[in-house]
Amino acid sequence: MEKHQSSKSALKATSMERLLKIRQDFIKERFEIKSQQEHYFEVVAKINGVTYINNSASTDVDSAWLALEKVNGNIIWIAGGVDRGNDYTMLQELVNDKVQHIICLGKLITNLYKAFGNLACKTIITTLSTDEAVHHASLLAKAGDTVLFSPACASYDLFEGIEDRGHQFKQSIHRLQSGELFEKYPLYQIK
């Protein structure tokens, strides 16, 4: 009887691993098709050796997982918005391994703090605008890092939709390039 239960448990674990692999492969395939579109893993700029990526279309944990997985090197992750009961468990290992700092953007970010507050990230910051989020990210990032805007949440707390959210992020990057953000937030200059 015990041997039968062990075999059954092993079979169940193997089946779960296969299902997870199939799910991840499906998500990757879907992501690769969309990554040529605006707001889908869109490289906006490279400033002082830091790459800024707009993945505003990330409205769920699956799309955030893909974006985090795709980036090589250290990440400053800008996430947040309207959390619709997200389970961030599948992101914890990636966040622990790759993310140096999390910048929470939005009013409803309690679950992000709960999910990632005890991980190896150096900092978790709350912001209420893309300008503020990008400014903080620029201060935390080092050459070779990637600032990844992949919210993993719906956009309706601060924005009209994913397009508006993505456009505001890109405008903030352009303001960073022009120096406007340092004029707007002079007290935060720590570099």
- Quickly state the pLDDT bin for 178 (edges 50, 70, 90): very high
Q: Closest Cα to residue 54, out of 63, 99, 100, 97?
A: 63
Q: Judge contact between 102 and 116, C-beta under 8 A.
A: yes
- Quickly state the pLDDT bin for 190 (edges 50, 70, 90): very low
pTM of the model: 0.80
Q: Judge whether residue 95 has pLDDT over 80.
A: yes
pLDDT digits (tens, 9 = 90+) for 31-82: 454 556 787 999 999 999 999 999 999 999 999 999 999 999 999 999 999 9
pLDDT digits (tens, 9 = 90+) for 157-171: 999 999 999 999 999
42-47 vs 50-54, strand pairing mode = antiparallel
- Which two structure tokens, joined as six digits, stand for 98? 């790759």
DSSP state of 91: G
pLDDT value of position 1:
55
pLDDT value of position 118:
85
| Long-range Cβ pairs for the range 34-38 (8 Å, 24+) | 38/163, 38/166
pLDDT digits (tens, 9 = 90+) for 99-135: 999 999 998 888 999 999 888 677 899 999 999 999 9
Q: Judge whether residue 191 has pLDDT over 90.
A: no
Which carries the bigger pLDDT value, residue 108 or residue 146? 146
